[in-house]
């Protein structure tokens, strides 16, 4: 069941992100809007449209979230592999499981280190320009 849902979610996510799907949705909205006067904007007409769009939106949330979760896990696995096979610090493997405060502190520390590296690189570039 899980494998089927993953394949289904991937297929739906791929199709929902295509331009042809967007154009089709716009055309459907225009057709529904144009059908309003035909049905005198009746309560049944509104109910059908509102129910249909609500159901589609509700189901798409789960399908797209599943796809997003899998993409995130795959990306995290790739990053972990790069960290483990490089000279990077292994303490970064699994940091996605830290709480928000610890992640912010780590991010701030890394930003400060990156700024120092950038300053050193700028200094070296200036030295090379002088020579």
Kindly state whether residues 108 and 65 are assigned to the same domain.
no
Q: Nearest 5°: CA angle at 72, between 14 and 100? A: 140
Which domain does 9 fall in, by range?
A: 2-92
pLDDT tens, per residue, the chain with 131 residues: 778 888 888 888 888 889 999 999 999 999 999 999 999 999 999 999 999 999 999 999 998 898 888 888 888 888 888 888 888 777 778 888 888 888 888 888 888 888 888 888 888 888 888 87
Longest dimension (CA), the chain: 80
Considering the entire predicted model, what is its pTM?
Answer: 0.60
Kindly state whether residues 28 and 84 are assigned to the same domain.
yes
Kindly state whether residues 51 and 78 are assigned to the same domain.
yes
Kindly state whether residues 128 and 81 are assigned to the same domain.
no
State how many domains the chain has. Answer: 2
Kindly state whether residues 88 and 103 are assigned to the same domain.
no
Kindly state whether residues 27 and 44 are assigned to the same domain.
yes
Kindly state whether residues 102 and 51 are assigned to the same domain.
no
Kindly state whether residues 24 and 56 are assigned to the same domain.
yes
């Amino acid at each position: 069941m899980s494998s089927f849902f993953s394949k289904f979610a991937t297929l739906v996510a791929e199709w929902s992100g295509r331009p042809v799907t967007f154009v089709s949705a716009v055309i459907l909205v225009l057709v529904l809007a144009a059908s309003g006067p035909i049905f005198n904007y009746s309560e049944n007409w509104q109910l059908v449209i509102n129910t249909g769009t609500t159901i589609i939106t509700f189901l798409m949330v789960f399908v797209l979230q599943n796809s997003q979760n899998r993409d995130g896990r795959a990306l995290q696995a790739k990053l972990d592999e790069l960290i483990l096979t490089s000279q990077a610090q292994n303490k970064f493997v699994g940091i996605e499981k830290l709480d928000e405060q610890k992640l912010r502190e780590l991010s701030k520390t890394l930003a400060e280190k990156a700024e120092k590296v950038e300053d050193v690189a700028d200094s070296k570039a200036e030295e090379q320009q002088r020579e």
